[in-house]
Homo-oligomer: A and B are copies of this chain.
């Protein structure tokens, strides 16, 4: 009939192997033969199931993008009154927590993050689509929040604060290998991630004179 069970299994094996290899060496450095070997599938299956190497890559990228599409930032912020200082503080904390959850969910293959940032970095057909999905939407919501906090803020400044808030998270995802090597660990501990969230959030709240009390472990610098 339409599709046999073995088909979806083969497709997934090829996608996983591709993501794994791409995370390790970069999309530009891997061959269809290496992919097929790691997936324990025949190289011809790439052509049969995806139509070629490029299409396989698109499928990999799409499988990552789907997860972000299914978890829009707006959903995480429903019910927050961003017109009050307390609500604004809570929104900032929720944004950071939500991104940490998405980036470092242990259920998700570790190659997802590397795929994201490679697509962002190098020209490819899906780049704009992907940026729109993963970045633009988040960017827009957060910039609007900053402009609510300070109505006099211009676009460029809002962008700047967007970047300042999220780049620590992004860097922890993009350069996970280096950081973990430096920390002498194999994965971020929940405590470390919690501290990352707290510190990011606190720095931003302090900058905007927003209340830091909420549900945070007290911060004391001496």
Contact = CB atoms under 8 A, between A and B. Distances in A.
A168 B163 contact: yes
Copies in the complex: 2
Contact of A28 (B28, B178, B221): B28
A195 interface: yes
Given A170-B171, A221-B207, A183 B159 contact: yes
A122 interface: yes
Interface residues of A, number: 48
Nearest to A136: B182
A66 interface: no
Contacts of A204: 203
A96 to B, nearest CB: 12
A135 B167 CA distance: 17
A106 interface: no
Interface centre among A163, A167, A179 (most CB of B within 10 A): A167
Contacts of A172: 163
Contacts of A222: 150, 152, 209
Contacts of A170: 167, 171
A120 interface: yes
Contact of A175 (B26, B121, B123): B121
